[in-house]
Structure 1
Amino acid sequence: MALCSFLTMLLIHITLFVSLCYAADPFVNFEFEVSYITASPLGVPQQVIAINGKFPGPTINSTTNNNVVVNVRNKLDENLLIHWSGIQQRRSSWQDGVLGTNCPIPPKWNWTYQFQVKDQIGSFFYFPSLNFQRASGGYGGFIITNRDIIPIPFGTPDGDITIMIGDWYTRNHTALRKALDAGKDLGMPDGVLINGKGPYRYNDTLVPDGIEYETIEVHPGRTYRIRVHNVGVSTSLNFRIQSHNLLLAETEGSYTVQQNYTSLDIHVGQSYSFLLTTDQNASTDYYIVASARFVNESLWKRVTGVAILRYTNSKGKAKGPLPDSPNDEFDKTFSMNQARSIRWNVSASGARPNPQGSFRYGTINVTEIYVLKNKPPVTINGKRRTTLSGISFVNPSTPIRLADQYKVKGVYKLDFPTRPLTGAPRMETSVINGTYRGFMEVILQNNDTKVQSYHMSGYAFFVVGMDYGEWTENSRGTYNKWDGIARSTTQVYPGAWTAILISLDNVGVWNLRTENLDSWYLGQETYVRVVNPEATNKTELPMPDNALYCGALSKLQKPEDISSATSIMGSSRLFFTLLMIVCALIPIFR
């Protein structure tokens, strides 16, 4: 009887859990300890931001619909936020990790992020978003793989390789920040890093001896997926691998029409993944190169990152000159035409960007239009600032989303202009009032002398057009309304415009900014506030229990509770473990 009762109760519990076994999404858990280390990526000892003692930090591996839990211990001497660049946190800007949305993690504190990577695949990265910290490191890759039931539009690669490229200064982020505060330009970077390491000594004059460089080992006759992220400060980089073609396959969550490139311009904040076939002979190693673009190349020769691709049967070191970068001195449209050639693979299966399940974005009626124009830095109230449409954004002491939650008045204004201001520029906390389920057209006009990259949190937008000159209403005639790439970061060339379309179906407060760290730090950003007017909680997740408080709400902040982070991590692991045990028992009792 006892056994019968036990089995009866077990079957009842199994019945209750069975739906969860087929519907619940797994948790993946990570521990991040963010601290300073001393490193010499360009041969000069300097302070670097590491995660778990490593620079760059670990790559987060997850799968579509996974619940990601990252427990962050801030061991820096200043506030910290981790931003998940390109991760569309559906229904929750509470975890986005930017100052206009979240209160920072204080020094020596512990805080846990928890979000779901819903309806996504692809190559992304994370980085510290405050105080110019990305210039000192703290970044790493973020991979979202497809679920097994969803096919990918290429054969399964033999390996997966993450490559972080970016310009680098031997001054740390605090020194760079002070220079900007003093109204100075940062000047030419000291080099380009590849996976946190300096250049291979391909030239005895340009590269000093004793610098550690990155070596990537591959087997001959195989195909690898290489995910490349530009995590630098402000320099566009041309990426290439000597004697090898790069078959573009995906960018920031969208599969692309596959085509070969001998090199590709990767702008600040952008991510691409290529299929690399190791089909060359192994007489020598091969150069992997990331070199500065849209600069005076004779002056910037030393600002070049060089790593080594080594076949397992290689017979010697790489030698000779580096493979040439694009020669477009007299053709300024080369890079733009290359960007235009990147098209969305509309026939591929897999998770899709917003609007969910829609491929005919070109037939959706536009409900609101914003022309956002940036110019060279200006002086406002005695300070050197950058602007977007004449407004230099001021981060509020109380984050916008937190102010909404507690109905704190006067934190921001919903008055961001639809067209650039004609009067004197001003410093304000001015926010775009987005219409829920609206379809927004944004024209990014770059009237500066350098390339700008623009990113929007919480969304993938459709890049539908770009050209030189001033955008006009007639420019819409050149838009790609069928297979424009969907991504979260796009470049805008100097003296040119880029047009994007955004389906505002993700409720929250989302950062729209330049990815160039110097321009971002000085105010070239805003936020898009998207609120569901209906009385429902189905379109946004509730405020997390461990939310931090600051500004006007700082009195609500309780002392740090270390156990809360542990309990979140522990409960998710325990729940998932129990769920897996029950699911494993189901076939026994069927």
Structure 2
Amino acid sequence: MALSKFLGLFLIHIALLSSSCFAADPFVFYDFEVSYITASPLGVPQQVIAINNKFPGPTINSTTNNNVVINVRNKLDESLLLHWSGIQQRRSSWQDGLPGTNCPIPPKWNWTYQFQVKDQIGSFFYFPSLHFQRAAGGFGGFIINNRDIIPIPFGSPDGDITILIGDWYTRNHTALRKALDAGKDLGMPDGVLINGKGPYQYNDTLVPDGIDYETIDVHPGKTYRLRVHNVGISTSLNFRIQSHNLLLAETEGSYTVQQNYTSLDIHVGQSYSFLLTTDQNASSDYYIVASARFVNESQWKRVTGVAILRYSNSKGKAAGPLPDPPQDEYDKTFSMNQARSIRWNVSASGARPNPQGSFRYGSINVTEIFVLKNKPPVTIDGKRRTTLSGISFVNPATPIRLADQFKVKGVYKLDFPSRPLTGPPKMETSVINGTFRGFMEVILQNNDTKVQTYHLSGYAFFVVGMDYGEWSENSRGTYNKWDGIARSTTQVYPGAWTAILISLDNVGVWNLRTENLDSWYLGQETYIRVVNPEVTNKTELPMPDNVLYCGALSKRQKPQDISFATSITTSSWKLFLAVLMVASALLFH
């Protein structure tokens, strides 16, 4: 391609980035080619979604306030969106990668995400958000490091290790999708993967020969940061490492009070950072285990994920039984009490020099209250659906944010109820009308029989309380109003409630959903629309110049120059960076 044509495109990007005030902070660039490959994580060949021919995909490594540019080439046979789970997308829901905010990237198309990880640190992950694709892969870790001038509340680790755990089916994601569309349950998963690999053969009867397993190599006498993410479909997992303690240090962008756990329940969509000290002898390797929680079937033992922790001076293979999971079959409060023990480190700096606890959420007046209740699946208009407060969400053909921009009428309703509906359930595109700079209390009531985890895009919320039974006004007396953890994903146990507080300071349209993929696919979600009455780039960035159009606005979409788009590579982005630096010097100095 001619250099002049290439530079012309970059000058357009420069104008966009400059107007968005991005140019003052460093850039990191990634090139993602999303395609199908054949893999056999459980010994059965199957089609999985890879990024740059890797399953799982590469880890994105960034630093607070970096501008992240990710060029995505969709080589799947269906449309694609990538969602950056837990990344708050300050002022820019345009880049969130969800159907309520973005039109999908068509097959064989190229599209570039550009966003700033503004005032964030921590451990997150990304995944494809359409068509049940996360069940086939396409996920990877996303790290946001502290800037050098901001101290971390522990010594610098000797290594940083990303671990992706999750339940897994050997059926194709399209087959799983069809089962849900036909009104069926997915049934028991076929296994639990650790970094895209099946279990180590710890038991000849339960685990067949020939399965590739994950090995994590460490040196004795060191401390490693383990970033563990449950990227699975619907199974809560207990994570543990034989003979080692896990010192919890951070979760989803907040430093925690540092506490040792022998194991920790990690629910679907959740992320944790542990400090692992390699202080054991090296007489053998050690088991790393991710096992299913809150299930009764004895066959679930076959589903356990097992990897290996190997010291550099190890003298032999791991042996013996796996370390025991929590023995709480008759104590349903054990896991909840463990969750309650996770507290915010209010004296630690976050992405800024001020302590995390300087945001005194407990003294802010609540302006809006929503009680959101889920129930087991129901039948609506002959279809099996899941609901939130009696509404099963229908994704609109025209994304909500795009409809607002072009004043398209009838795409959605701002009528999501503050209390559960008392009448029959219904399928609608019903959205919560949030008040800019309001302070919202949300009670998540789980009347289903399995754990649900809930995620809110664009925000970290404060988890202030959880208990069994029905929430009532008196439940507020149990709230933690000082050091409740700030995070983006929280679990709600069966027959229980969890209360969260949200400071609505991020303008945009933000997804509130269950992370359990089957329940999400069937409608258990909504969006919170937060609008600043005063239109200003200070609270929301302008629509990007490369926005995709669909639905009622599809006639605006121009065909893509495929030969040009597919020629954009990481090396090209490096050239872009060089040009951008020159342009920035001219524009800002």
Give the TM-score, by structure 1 length: 0.93
1:574 to 565, 578, 582: 578
How many residues end up aligned between the 2 structures? 565
The corresponding residue for 1:69 is 69
The corresponding residue for 2:416 is 416
The corresponding residue for 2:380 is 380
* Contact kept? 1:238, 1:325, Cα under 8 Å: yes
Superposition pairs for residues 82-481 of structure 1, below 5 Å?
82-296=82-296, 298-351=298-351, 358-481=358-481
Higher mean C-alpha deviation, range 289-298 or range 177-186: 289-298
Take 2:213 and 2:31, find their aligned partners in 1: how far apart are those partners? 27
The corresponding residue for 1:16 is none
Cα deviation code 1:291-322 (max 9, x no counterpart)? 00000152210110000000000000000000
The corresponding residue for 1:556 is 556
Take 2:76 and 2:508, find their aligned partners in 1: how far apart are those partners? 29
Q: Shift in Å at residue 577 of structure 1?
A: 4.7
Q: Shift in Å at residue 561 of structure 1?
A: 3.7
Identity of aligned residues (%): 88
Take 2:538 and 2:467, find their aligned partners in 1: how far apart are those partners? 40
Take 1:353 and 1:379, find their aligned partners in 2: how far apart are those partners? 51
Secondary structure of the corresponding residue to residue 102 of structure 2? coil
Secondary structure of the corresponding residue to residue 134 of structure 2? helix
* Contact kept? 1:372, 1:419, Cα under 8 Å: yes
* Contact kept? 1:27, 1:572, Cα under 8 Å: no
Take 2:356 and 2:99, find their aligned partners in 1: how far apart are those partners? 28
Structure 1 stretches of 5 or more lacking a match?
Answer: 1-20
One-letter amino acid matched to 1:282: A
One-letter amino acid matched to 1:317: K
Q: Shift in Å at residue 355 of structure 1?
A: 13
* Contact kept? 1:354, 1:503, Cα under 8 Å: no
Q: Shift in Å at residue 353 of structure 1?
A: 13
Cα deviation code 1:178-205 (max 9, x no counterpart)? 0000000000000000000000000001
Take 1:337 and 1:98, find their aligned partners in 2: how far apart are those partners? 33
Higher mean C-alpha deviation, range 426-435 or range 558-567: 558-567
Q: Shift in Å at residue 237 of structure 1?
A: 0.0
Structure 2 stretches of 5 or more lacking a match?
Answer: 1-20
Higher mean C-alpha deviation, range 175-184 or range 354-363: 354-363
One-letter amino acid matched to 2:508: G
One-letter amino acid matched to 1:91: R
> Using a 3 Å threshold, how does the CA distance of structure 1 residues 455 and 106 change in structure 2: closer, same or farther?
same
Q: Shift in Å at residue 578 of structure 1?
A: 3.7
* Contact kept? 2:69, 2:112, Cα under 8 Å: yes
* Contact kept? 1:355, 1:505, Cα under 8 Å: no
Superposition pairs for residues 515-534 of structure 1, below 5 Å?
515-534=515-534
C-alpha RMSD of matched pairs (Å): 2.2
The corresponding residue for 2:3 is none
Q: Shift in Å at residue 23 of structure 1?
A: 8.2
Q: Shift in Å at residue 27 of structure 1?
A: 0.6
Q: Which runs of 4+ in 1 moved over 6 A?
A: 352-357, 579-582
Take 2:577 and 2:387, find their aligned partners in 1: how far apart are those partners? 45
> Using a 3 Å threshold, how does the CA distance of structure 1 residues 334 and 356 change in structure 2: closer, same or farther?
closer
> Using a 3 Å threshold, how does the CA distance of structure 1 residues 52 and 23 change in structure 2: closer, same or farther?
closer
The corresponding residue for 1:11 is none
Take 2:112 and 2:515, find their aligned partners in 1: how far apart are those partners? 25
Take 1:70 and 1:444, find their aligned partners in 2: how far apart are those partners? 34
Secondary structure of the corresponding residue to residue 93 of structure 2? coil
Higher mean C-alpha deviation, range 322-331 or range 530-539: 530-539
Higher mean C-alpha deviation, range 351-360 or range 458-467: 351-360
Give the TM-score, by structure 2 length: 0.93
Higher mean C-alpha deviation, range 356-365 or range 433-442: 356-365
One-letter amino acid matched to 2:176: L
One-letter amino acid matched to 2:320: G
Secondary structure of the corresponding residue to residue 258 of structure 2? strand
Take 1:535 and 1:298, find their aligned partners in 2: how far apart are those partners? 58
* Contact kept? 1:354, 1:505, Cα under 8 Å: no
* Contact kept? 1:465, 1:500, Cα under 8 Å: yes
Secondary structure of the corresponding residue to residue 224 of structure 1? strand
Higher mean C-alpha deviation, range 387-396 or range 565-574: 565-574
Structure possessing the higher radius of gyration over alpha carbons: 1
Cα deviation code 1:457-491 (max 9, x no counterpart)? 00000000000000000000000000000000000
Higher mean C-alpha deviation, range 135-144 or range 291-300: 291-300
The corresponding residue for 2:47 is 47
Secondary structure of the corresponding residue to residue 450 of structure 2? coil
Q: Shift in Å at residue 351 of structure 1?
A: 1.6
Cα deviation code 1:62-100 (max 9, x no counterpart)? 000000000000000000000000000100000000001
> Using a 3 Å threshold, how does the CA distance of structure 1 residues 439 and 581 change in structure 2: closer, same or farther?
closer
Q: Shift in Å at residue 357 of structure 1?
A: 8.1
The corresponding residue for 1:14 is none
Q: Shift in Å at residue 354 of structure 1?
A: 13
* Contact kept? 2:374, 2:446, Cα under 8 Å: yes
Take 1:326 and 1:307, find their aligned partners in 2: how far apart are those partners? 19
Q: Shift in Å at residue 581 of structure 1?
A: 9.5
* Contact kept? 2:93, 2:508, Cα under 8 Å: yes
> Using a 3 Å threshold, how does the CA distance of structure 1 residues 242 and 190 change in structure 2: closer, same or farther?
same
Q: Shift in Å at residue 214 of structure 1?
A: 0.2
One-letter amino acid matched to 1:573: L
Q: Shift in Å at residue 574 of structure 1?
A: 2.1
* Contact kept? 2:375, 2:447, Cα under 8 Å: yes
The corresponding residue for 1:5 is none
One-letter amino acid matched to 1:534: E
> Using a 3 Å threshold, how does the CA distance of structure 1 residues 207 and 278 change in structure 2: closer, same or farther?
same
Q: Shift in Å at residue 535 of structure 1?
A: 3.5
* Contact kept? 1:546, 1:564, Cα under 8 Å: no
Take 1:478 and 1:527, find their aligned partners in 2: how far apart are those partners? 28
